Structure 1
Amino acid sequence: MEWSSLPPMGALRAFAATAETRSLTRAAELLNVTRPAVSQQIRILETHFGERLLVRQRRGIALTTQGQALARSLLFAFAEISAAAERLAQSESIRPLHVSTTPMFASSFLMPQLAAFRDSHAGIELVVSPTSELVALEPGGVDVAIRYGMGDWPGVESELLFKASFAVCAATSLVGDRRIDRPADILNFPLLHELGSREFSDWMEKQGIARRPDTKITRIPGNLLLDGLRRGDGIVATVPRFIEHDVREGRIRILFEDRLDAGYHIVALPGVKRPPLRAFIRWLRSISRRASAATHSST
């Protein structure tokens, strides 16, 4: 197709709307432009072809023979374009919204709130994929991810959902009131690491903690980690926000805490976002604000 030889799209749309309505005024209303603008576009089209396409009459306009032939082709083509656009819009609106997030975030923050989202957005089908891996976002695949970090991932847009420091914690049933002053003291207890995550291991290396032959480390999925923490199965690295009630009630002790600028971020591809994704992001913001307000009111 010789794209460069085609007349301007605006001129084609103006002529097609005029041919369909047989009215310059009505065509202008449909295109949300002025009547003179429609007339100008039609003149551009006539100049392009070197042919008169319509004639003005007392009671409106009439198409010339050349205008009738062009109108038939244009109206058919625009109808096909409109139908294709509608099919695409419908398929995107009904395609499930695919959310990738860490198992711990899914079990501790997202899932307890999800019923409220379903109640207010009954037409949106969600697919939640809990994984510790950094899943790639791509059109037609994962729509949005909720990731923990500094928000500096390349090739994506990230928006801070809430700040979250990094804490090493233990159940009082495990450590009691024993003094744990040095990071290396945690080696005297079993350790629970999140499967697929290096955050606890990296913290230990940063603190200069060297594993001993008798170090007891168990790696379990993030959605089971806090259950193990509460039972006293081992010392865990987590986000204080997920255990704040247990801390207030004295069931869990925060042994060490790094107040970083890290947090959970909403991560999506740049560009236009389909309506279900926009709705989900708005909802995430709202529940995060409510959770933050509840936290501040209880302190």
Structure 2
Amino acid sequence: MNRPAAPAAVPAGRQSTPTTLTCVFAVTRTPPPADVLTAAHGYDEGGPLRLVAAGPLWLVAQDVPAASFDAASLGERLNRPEELERCARAHHRGVAAAARPGPVVPLPMATLYLGDLNAVRAVSDREAELCALLDRLRGRTEWAVKVHAAEASASGAAGSAAEEAPAGGRAYLSRVSARRRTRSEAQERALAAAHEADRELRRYAVAATRHRPQSEQLTGRSTPQLLNAAYLVDDAGREEFAGALARLTAGRIGTGIEITASGPWIPYSFARLDQEWDGTADPEGAAPQHEGRP
């Protein structure tokens, strides 16, 4: 097979100047055309997106100023919520540009190298694994599904606790115990329903992984998140997966839970070389790094 032609490829031996670092967004075998790279942009303070050749693979990269992306500066920036969001959006723009023509392996946010040669060496060391992973991701997208306990159930349990004024003796203790038991049983039913929804969706997915449930501060909801999952779905099976989602959100599984879903997305949750697809993924992702590895 002939290697796909790519515009403006940078020779592998090229080194960034001492004042810049090479930031790599993603690895691909189908490099995006020049107009896609020109229209997209990564970090505002960096240069244009560009391609770096690495054997049969291509890196979508950007030169970024070392003064703003060294370990101390980057760590300080990512500790500020607004800067973290800005960096995450910049990273996604670079990955999205790389993914326009075909599958990609996104690297962790702010994966930085001292120069192109170091980046190419890191990718070349895992070339066979990256090529195999790209083959597995071809023609597949990610869907995110979150299950929360229903607001009505939570408010009902809280309301029942306030219905009766405290009273003395065994009757009061009995009512308190009954309310606790009722809440516990409701939580168990909701959790069982969330697990049943997960099992149903896995029937229509190539792979699935569970992230750590998000806190109520992150979700902005007053009820707990019972399931935070991602599903890898074949493009050819997208309608069947969407149909299963529709049945679940319509309440087929039962009461006590609320299901929200979004997609299709670039399969971030399934693009890690060290990950078992049916295992548990770290919701925080890999830490930003210098001289990172794919």
TM-score between both structures, scaled by the size of structure 1: 0.21
Q: Which has the higher helix share?
A: 1
Structure of higher CA gyration radius: 1
TM-score (norm 2): 0.21
Q: Which has the higher contact order (CA 8 A, sep 6+)?
A: 2
